[in-house]
Structure 1
Amino acid sequence: MKLVVSGKEYPLKEGIAKASLGDLYVLKLKSGMGVKSIMETFKTLEKSESHFDFIENIDGIQSLRSIIFLCRRAAGEHVEFEEASDVPLSEIGFIQDEPEAEAADPKATPTDSAPDDGTPEAGPMTT
């Protein structure tokens, strides 16, 4: 999942993984939350019907502010906690990651389907 702030995409996992001890300290002081609390709160986002459900309570709001701060810091932006989340709600969103295509199983055996009869399908011609 990616966080989008003002049109810029930030990978959530990278935002957490790249957090420095200094960022985590500031995060705890300013939001009262740690990474575990943020992750637990974000699990409710996946189950919510709307992202507005997520920000209905103080933990959701603080988690969102916190993850914006961590993601922006991980991306090399030198922003303070308050500055990081001083963004209109209309400019904040999330993008689900594309599901990874399943790799072909090398042990799979071909099916007993008929061979290709060589008739091309109708479609645009390319040269």
Structure 2
Amino acid sequence: MEALPVTSYISTQSWTEHDVYNEGNRHSSDFQRSPIGTFVEAEPDENLEVWPETGRPGPEVTAYIVAVLEYDPKENKLSRQTATVTRAPEMYGALEDSISALEAANEMDEEMWKMLGESQQEE
């Protein structure tokens, strides 16, 4: 089986209260990013409340960055987990289009992680 030229990624980044207030440690306390090894596909359901800004995503939406935020009050820890996903293959005319969409989502996800890490350092 031929290796995929691009893959979905799953990433986790977290901060603790200690990180926010300790001048010497303003970096995220944890950051992990790893390839899933395949394309992860997702299609939104018909519930328009899931997409309040745009209604159903139109054909111009080709990939997503799915994010989950979690706060643990016991540990005073905020975590953010993302996964990059592409729409179902039948939404594309060619595999190259699907690859391009997922590459763009991966790049944007990585930029968001960098910006969040930098803003944490500046505070």
Shorter-chain TM band? under 0.3
Larger Rg: 1
Query: Scaled by the length of structure 2, what TM-score is found?
Result: 0.22
Higher strand share: 2
Query: Scaled by the length of structure 1, what TM-score is found?
Result: 0.22
